[in-house]
Amino acid sequence: MTSHFLTRSLDRSATVFLTIVAAVGVLLPLLNLLLPDTSILHVPTYLMTLFGKYVCYAVLALSIDLIWGYCGILSLGHGAFFALGGYAMGMYLMRQIGPRGVYADPVLPDFMVFLNWKSLPWYWQGFDMFWFAALMVVLVPGVLAFCFGWLAFRSRVTGVYLSIITQAMTYALLLGFFRNDFGFGGNNGLTDFKDILGFNVQAEGTRAALFTLSCLALAVSFLICRAVVGSKLGKVLIAIRDAESRTRFLGYRVESYKLFVFTLSACIAGVAGALYVPQVGIINPSEFAPGNSIEAVIWVAVGGRGTLVGAALGAVVVNYAKTLFTSGMLAPYWLFMLGALFVLVTLLLPKGIFGTWNAWRDARQVTGLTDDPHSATFEDGAVKPHMAE
Amino acid sequence: MFFNSDVLRHVAGRIRRAGAILALSITMWSGCPGIAAHAGSFEDDVALLAARSFTESETAVTHLQVSGNPLAYPIISALKDGRLYAEEDSKKVFIKGPDGKIIDAANGQSVGALPDGAGVVRLNNRLRRTIDAALGSLTLLSPDVSVRVRAAQSVFKNHEESSLAPLDAALKNESNDAARKALTAARAAVILFKADASEADKLDAITIIKARGDQEALALLSGLPGDMSPAVARAATAAMTSIKGNLALWSTVQNAWYGLSLGSVLLLAAIGLAITFGVMGVINMAHGEMVMVGAYTTFVVQETIRTSYPTAFDYSLLIAVLLAFVVAGAIGVLIERTIIRFLYGRPLETLLATWGLSLILQQAVRTIFGPNNREVGNPSWMSGAFDIGQITITYNRLWILCFALTVFIILLAMLRFTRLGLEMRAVTQNRRMAASMGIATSRVDALTFGLGSGIAGVAGVALSQIDNVSPNLGQSYIIDSFMVVVFGGVGNLWGTLIGAFTLGIANKFLEPVAGAVLGKIAILVLIILFIQKRPRGLFALKGRAVDA
In whole angstroms, what separates CA B517 from the centre of its chain?
A: 21
Alpha-carbon distances of B401 from A7, A310, B267, rounded to whole Å: 66, 50, 9
End-to-end CA distance of chain B: 68
CA–CA gap between residue B79 and residue B85 (Å, rounded): 8
- Which residue has better confidence, A309 or B385? A309
ipTM of the complex in this document: 0.84
Give the one of B353, B525, B528 whose C-beta lies nearest to A346's C-beta.
Answer: B353
> Which backbone phi and psi does A346 adopt, to 5 degrees?
-65, -35
CA–CA gap between residue B186 and residue B168 (Å, rounded): 10
* pLDDT classification of A17: cutoffs 50, 70, 90: very high
Residue to mutate among A249, A294, A343, with most B CBs inside 10 A, is A343
Q: What is the pLDDT of residues B74-97, one digit of tens each?
A: 788 788 888 888 887 777 888 887
Q: Is B389 on the interface with A (CB under 8 A)?
A: no
Residues of chain A contacting B364 with CB distance shorter than 8 Å: 336
- Which residue has better confidence, B119 or A319? A319
Over residues B228-254, mean pLDDT: 85
Strands A195-196 and B84-87 come out as unpaired
B327 pLDDT higher than 90: yes
Task: Decide: A269 and A63 in contact? Cβ < 8 Å.
Answer: yes
CA–CA gap between residue B436 and residue A26 (Å, rounded): 63
CA–CA gap between residue A97 and residue A108 (Å, rounded): 10
CA–CA gap between residue B281 and residue A386 (Å, rounded): 15
Give the one of B347, B528, B531 whose C-beta lies nearest to A160's C-beta.
Answer: B347
End-to-end CA distance of chain A: 33
Over residues B195-216, mean pLDDT: 81
In whole angstroms, what separates CA A28 from the centre of its chain?
A: 21
Alpha-carbon distances of B240 from B37, B213, B214, rounded to whole Å: 39, 9, 10
Over residues B321-330, mean pLDDT: 95
Over residues B484-497, mean pLDDT: 82
pLDDT, residue B143, reads 66
H or E element in which residue B119 lies:
strand B119-120
Give the CA radius of gyration of chain B.
Answer: 33
pLDDT, residue B12, reads 46
- Which residue has better confidence, B44 or B418? B418
Q: What is the pLDDT of residues A259-276, one digit of tens each?
A: 999 999 999 999 999 999
pLDDT, residue B401, reads 93
Answer whether B517 sits within 8 Å of A175, measured CB to CB: yes
pLDDT, residue A283, reads 93
Q: What is the pLDDT of residues A47-93, one digit of tens each?
A: 899 999 999 999 999 999 999 999 999 999 999 999 999 999 999 99
Task: Decide: A57 and A299 in contact? Cβ < 8 Å.
Answer: yes
Answer whether B342 sits within 8 Å of A350, measured CB to CB: no
CA–CA gap between residue A361 and residue A16 (Å, rounded): 15
CA–CA gap between residue A277 and residue A268 (Å, rounded): 15
Q: How is A183-198 classified by DSSP, letter by letter?
A: TS-GGG-EE---EETT
pLDDT, residue A369, reads 59
Residue B104, Cβ density class (10 Å: 0-12 exposed, 13-18 middle, ≥19 buried): middle
CA–CA gap between residue A24 and residue A245 (Å, rounded): 43
Give the one of B346, B525, B535 whose C-beta lies nearest to A157's C-beta.
Answer: B535
H or E element in which residue B95 lies:
strand B92-96
Answer whether A178 sits within 8 Å of B517, measured CB to CB: yes
Q: Is B546 on the interface with A (CB under 8 A)?
A: no
CA–CA gap between residue B545 and residue B279 (Å, rounded): 11
pLDDT, residue B36, reads 41
Q: Which residues contact A179 (CB under 8 A, 6 or more apart)?
A: A186, B517, B518
The number of beta carbons lying within 10 Å of the beta carbon of residue B346 is 18
pLDDT, residue A170, reads 92
Give the one of A168, A341, A389 whose C-beta lies nearest to B524's C-beta.
Answer: A168
Strands B391-394 and B385-388 come out as antiparallel
- Greatest mean pLDDT among A234-238, A366-370, B514-518, B542-546: A234-238
Q: What is the pLDDT of residues B27-75, one digit of tens each?
A: 444 334 334 444 457 778 788 777 777 888 888 887 777 666 667 777 8
Best CA proximity match to A323, nearest among A17, A51, A43: A51
Minimum distance, in Å, between the CA of residue A211 and any CA atom of chain B: 31
Give, as one character, the DSSP assignment of residue B532: H
- Which residue has better confidence, A361 or A67? A67
CA–CA gap between residue B260 and residue B265 (Å, rounded): 9
Best CA proximity match to A374, nearest among A362, A385, A382, A384: A362
Minimum distance, in Å, between the CA of residue B156 and any CA atom of chain A: 39
Over residues B432-461, mean pLDDT: 91
Q: Tell me if residue A39 falls in helix, strand or coil.
A: coil
pLDDT, residue B541, reads 62
H or E element in which residue B318 lies:
helix B316-338
Residue A151, Cβ density class (10 Å: 0-12 exposed, 13-18 middle, ≥19 buried): middle
pLDDT, residue A279, reads 93
B502 pLDDT higher than 50: yes
Residue B266, Cβ density class (10 Å: 0-12 exposed, 13-18 middle, ≥19 buried): buried
Task: Decide: A58 and A245 in contact? Cβ < 8 Å.
Answer: no
Residue B510, Cβ density class (10 Å: 0-12 exposed, 13-18 middle, ≥19 buried): buried
B432 pLDDT higher than 60: yes
Residues of chain B contacting A165 with CB distance shorter than 8 Å: 486, 527-528, 531
Q: How is B6-35 classified by DSSP, letter by letter?
A: HHHHHHHHHHHH-HHHHHHHHHHHTT-HHH
Rounded to the nearest 5 degrees, what angle is found at the Cα of B516, between the Cα atoms of B514 and B520?
85
Residues of chain A contacting B348 with CB distance shorter than 8 Å: 68, 72, 74, 159-160, 163, 387, 389
Give, as one character, the DSSP assignment of residue B377: P
In whole angstroms, what separates CA A57 from the centre of its chain?
A: 5
Answer whether B356 sits within 8 Å of A335, measured CB to CB: no
pLDDT, residue A86, reads 96
Over pLDDT 70: what percentage of chain A?
Answer: 92
B169 pLDDT higher than 50: yes
Q: For residue B479, what is the nearest residue in chain A, using CA coordinates?
A: A168
Question: Sign of torsion, CA A342 A346 A347 A351?
Answer: positive
Q: What is the pLDDT of residues B291-313, one digit of tens each?
A: 999 999 999 999 999 888 888 88
Q: Tell me if residue B387 falls in helix, strand or coil.
A: strand
Residue B402, Cβ density class (10 Å: 0-12 exposed, 13-18 middle, ≥19 buried): exposed
Q: What is the pLDDT of residues B335-350, one digit of tens each?
A: 999 998 888 878 888 8
Give the one of B339, B483, B532 whose C-beta lies nearest to A168's C-beta.
Answer: B483
The number of beta carbons lying within 10 Å of the beta carbon of residue B37 is 8
pTM of the prediction?
Answer: 0.75
CA–CA gap between residue A294 and residue B351 (Å, rounded): 10
Residue B544, Cβ density class (10 Å: 0-12 exposed, 13-18 middle, ≥19 buried): exposed
pLDDT, residue B30, reads 39
A245 pLDDT higher than 60: yes
Over pLDDT 90: what percentage of chain B?
Answer: 20
Alpha-carbon distances of A355 from A243, A350, A373, A385, B333, rounded to whole Å: 21, 8, 16, 10, 32
Contacts 24+ apart (CB under 8 A), B75-83: B75/B46, B75/B49, B75/B105, B76/B131, B76/B134, B76/B135, B76/B138, B77/B1, B77/B2, B77/B3, B77/B135, B78/B105, B79/B49, B79/B121, B79/B123, B79/B131, B80/B123, B80/B128, B80/B131, B80/B132, B80/B135, B82/B120, B82/B123, B83/B120
Q: How is A45-61 classified by DSSP, letter by letter?
A: HHHHHHHHHHHHHHHHH
Please identify among residues 51-90 of chain A the ones whose CB lies closer than 8 Å to any CB of chain B. 68, 72, 74, 76
3-state helix, strand, coil in chain B (%, to 5): 75, 5, 20
Q: What is the pLDDT of residues B108-159, one digit of tens each?
A: 778 777 777 778 888 888 888 888 777 766 777 666 777 777 778 877 877 7
Minimum distance, in Å, between the CA of residue A355 and any CA atom of chain B: 16
Q: For residue B522, what is the nearest residue in chain A, using CA coordinates?
A: A172
Region class of A195: left (phi > 0), else alpha (psi between -120 and 50), else beta: beta
Q: What's the number of CA atoms in the CB half-sphere (13 Å) around residue B85?
A: 18
Task: Decide: B154 and B167 in contact? Cβ < 8 Å.
Answer: no
CA–CA gap between residue A93 and residue B243 (Å, rounded): 54
* pLDDT classification of B408: cutoffs 50, 70, 90: very high
